[in-house]
Chains A and B, each alone.
Chain A
Amino acid sequence: MQTPNTHTYHPTPPIALNTLFSMERGDEGIITSIPDVGLLASLGVRIGKTVKMVAKSLAKGPCILHINDRSIVIDREIAKQIIIRK
């Protein structure tokens, strides 16, 4: 059995690609999983919702999402735990 060449071998892309945080400005996606943060549901961040990335802040700043006509400011640490599909 041949071991894969480390120079050309690419593992499956990290999950990071499918998180909310990985979305670029203007991207849209549908939420498939959210972490257990109580306020998220009340702010409209629920499974099955379509979200649009409106802005990403500098440094360790938050992302701003659009969900159901609302603008939600969400910490990037939480955004990294929200899974979406395009």
Chain B
Amino acid sequence: MAQCHENKSSVPMAHNHKTILLMGLPNVGKSAIFSRYTNMHVTVSNYPGTTVEYVNGFMSIDEIRYVLKDAPGVYNIKQGIDAAEQVAIDMLNEKPDAVLFVLDALNLESSLFLLMQVLEYKIPTVVALNRNDLSQSRGITIDERIIANRLNVDVVPTVALEGKSLDALKTTLKNRLDNPSADFLLQEGDEARWEDVERIVKRAVKRPVDPYDPNEKYAFLIRPFPGLLIAILMLGLAFGLVIGLGMGLRQFILLPLLREGLFPFIEQSVTAFITNESLKNVLIGDYGFLIKGIEWPFALVLPYVISFYAMLSILEDTGYLPRLAVLLDGVFKKIGLPGSSIIPLLLGYGCGIPAIMATRSLPSKKARLSLAVMISLAVPCVSQTGAFIALLSERSLLALVFVFAFSIVTLIITGFVMDKMNKEKAPFTLYELPQLLMPKPRILGKKIAMRIKYYIKDGATPMIIAIFFTAFLYEFGVLQVIGEGLSPVVSGWLRLPEEASTPLLLGVIRRELAVLPLFDMTLTTLQFITAAIVALLYVPCIAMIATLAKEFNGRVAVGVFVFTTVTAIGIGGLIARIGEWFLILFA
């Protein structure tokens, strides 16, 4: 066929293409190989469970196209206990034309055991012995020929992150696809296989008497002392850098660029060419979409998107996050959650959607639901954080600190309440710590760029559309009518001006839009705090409600919607009143 339909995000299952299934343990570089071969950017991180659902892509070998499928990493495909394993088993049962198995040089025993389980399916298989550089840096050498002979498979040593030997791997793959054979040498039974694995490893691996071991060297990071102290310092430093870097980008680069360069130009052009007052207001008025539609997404939010994801990506790629999970495991157990919950929580400070998807790697349903509710209610996404900083930092730094402290306290209380509602204990903690790695700048840059692109596509674009419609509704008086209707809640209960109903309406669409319209209002500090807390606890955003419906069910989505709205309004009113008492007491 001369033409192939290309689809950016997922490739339709074309039956005229042969399929290759990518398999291996968690965190061995399957996604790195996938990205290299398909030129599709999938998230690569230094911790297990980054790939939670499988991705398809096209790869070409000598002008021939194949479908490459990236399976989630598993340790075992016999038990089928978790979702990832079931996905992997299903993918093998679909009978791909070949399996590209990624063997972990740092973890040869378990890799080989899984390989044997995969070979049982009698599918032509090529093996990449990956992360060869890491084992060599420890002084360990592996003779891949011994593995190849003992199992009768093709083995190619690779370093996927650097793209080393990936061409040789392609050639081997091509040969195997052209001459499919699957006569593997396998033992029967788990016992016999583990013995076989140990014999192979003993012959294939040459190791120094005392190999260099970075995990041992940095073990202090996971001991309560000084580990916890370092964790607090690290997170504090990361938080400070995110805020500082973001503010700097905004203050010194993006705002001047817009306010002194682009906006005067836009205003002059609009005034020169458009005489209709209404249209002019829609374009450059209070909600003027050419002004706010550019300033909000790109000058107020984008700087924090950049600084946050730069920091998070570094933390991810070093392998520090699973170590943080170890340190916090005991604390999280108190609310029935595993320590690894810290990863979706941190992701939630970027965007709630990937955070809720990341809860898939947690081993219990209860933990997933608890975390989803905690994130929906109390974790501001990076857009909203940017909006909070823009709104409060110049008015009252204390108010800003209060809002963030309030978010953390609410997070903890929500955790306890969710635990009370479902007493199921946290599942056993049992996982492998990835090796600490120096992040590679090229990969880091790609990852940050990918996340900024995701923000522009799925964050900034809906924000601009929402601002466009708001400008219309505002100009034609619809917002004002709604404001009067909501007045008992907004003015009566929350003690805010009527116009503050606009952010409440917009906040349903996007989290930061519950904050940004407050900008040009004249409010007291207490009113700013009230409005900020309402915005924090309020409905996360439409896209997140849709994600909840997809990942759980409609009931959870509606439940979160109602619960967050009621909590936000309820607590907001209380803060308005308690705040007033304080002012009377201390003023």
CB within 8 Å of B: which residues of A?
25, 37-44, 46, 54-55, 57-62, 64, 66, 68-75, 77-78
Contact = CB atoms under 8 A, between A and B. Distances in A.
A44 to B, nearest CB: 6
Contact of B219 (A55, A58, A68): A55
A44 B106 CA distance: 12
Contacts of A69: 106, 138, 140, 211, 213, 215
Nearest to B325: A73
Given A71-B433, A78-B428, 10 more contacts: A25-B223, A42-B75, A43-B431, A54-B215, A54-B222, A58-B228, A61-B331, A70-B106, A73-B329, A75-B430
B63 interface: no
A67 B219 CA distance: 14
Nearest to B425: A77
Contact of B109 (A25, A37, A54, A68): A68
Interface of B: 75-76, 79, 81, 106-107, 109-110, 113-114, 138, 140, 190, 194, 211, 213, 215-216, 219, 222-224, 227-228, 322, 326-327, 329-331, 333-334, 339, 428-433
A38 B101 CA distance: 22
Contacts of A55: 219, 222-224, 227, 326
B331 A59 contact: yes
Contacts of B140: 69
A57 B224 contact: yes
A46 B334 CA distance: 30
A48 to B, nearest CB: 9
A2 B535 CA distance: 77
A57 B329 contact: yes
B333 A60 contact: yes
Contacts of A74: 429-430
A2 B429 CA distance: 48
A43 B326 contact: no
27 contacts: A40-B430, A41-B194, A42-B113, A42-B114, A46-B194, A54-B215, A55-B326, A57-B222, A57-B224, A57-B329, A57-B330, A58-B228, A58-B330, A59-B333, A61-B326, A62-B339, A64-B222, A69-B138, A70-B106, A71-B219, A71-B433, A72-B432, A73-B326, A73-B429, A73-B430, A75-B429, A78-B430
